[in-house]
Amino acid sequence: MFHWLEKRPFLFAVGVFVTIAFAGLIEIIPDFGKASRPVIGTKPYSVLELTGRQVYIKNSCNACHSQLIRPFKAETDRYGHYSLSGEYAYDRPFLWGSKRTGPDLHRVGNYRTTDWHEHHMKDPASVVPGSIMPGYPWLFKNTADVDTAYAEMITVNKVFGVPYNKPLPTKDGGTVTVKLPSSVAEAHKMALEEAKKVAADMKDKNVKDMVAKGQIPEIVALIAYLNSLK
């Protein structure tokens, strides 16, 4: 049989290609599937974090900031451990970005604080001299859209099986459970409780007044999202 195949170069080449391709798939697919599973410590976004993620997208933050740290020393020295595919298990859509006018933000929660973000979003140059990033003063006045975030939570839970209300392992060996609100009213209540914790570390009087009145400024939701990126 092999003697017959050796006399036919084309068929021999096709046979070799098919064999190597099949073997490659057998080796690659299991590892790919394993790598794409949620990394331990990765959890779904809370209602306020998801609200902030929508603020991030609405203001096109992903146009200037990537969320993808490549496995190069120059990047890991600056931004932290390179990104793993399983860390994006609950991201829809992915916000990898294609340009870095500003720094990568995938692990910004590890080295920036609420206070830093507040001043940076209000007047970037006052925090980072020479920054070309514009200020976003309207985020301190606009009310965040919790309703849409809640609707997204319901959708990703039903359609994609995002594990809300289930204990998930943490890096320290414990578990964490992100609750799925049972109604729009509960979603607002949960988001407001989270917002109070963020606003407590902020200085802007208008932000504090809005939260005290039961309103959530977009800046608070955005900071909650940025703080979750670790």
Q: What would the pLDDT profile of 103-155 be if each residue is shown by its tens digit?
A: 999 999 999 999 999 999 999 999 999 999 999 999 999 999 999 999 999 99
Which class is 47-228 in CATH? mainly alpha
Q: In terms of pLDDT, which residue wins out, 171 or 22?
A: 171
d(CA 161, CA 156): 6
Q: What is the mean pLDDT of the chain?
A: 92
Is the per-residue pLDDT at 10 higher than 90? no
197-219 tens-digit pLDDT: 999 999 999 999 999 999 999 99
Position 28 pLDDT exceeds 70: no
Q: What confidence score (pLDDT) does residue 114 get?
A: 98
Q: What is the pLDDT of residue 169?
A: 93
At 27 the pLDDT is: 67
For residue 160, give Cα distances in angstroms to 53, 87, 89, 152.
18, 16, 10, 11
Q: What is the 3-state composition of the chain as percent helix, strand, coil, each rounded to the nearest 5?
A: 55, 5, 40
- pLDDT > 90: what percent of the chain? 80
| Cβ-proximal residues to 44 (8 Å cutoff; 6+ apart), any chain | 90, 153, 156, 162, 163, 164, 178
Q: Among 38, 92, 95, which residue's Cα sits nearest to residue 63?
A: 95
Residue ranges of the domains in the chain? Answer: 2-35, 47-228
Strand ranges, E, within 64-219: 168-169, 175-176
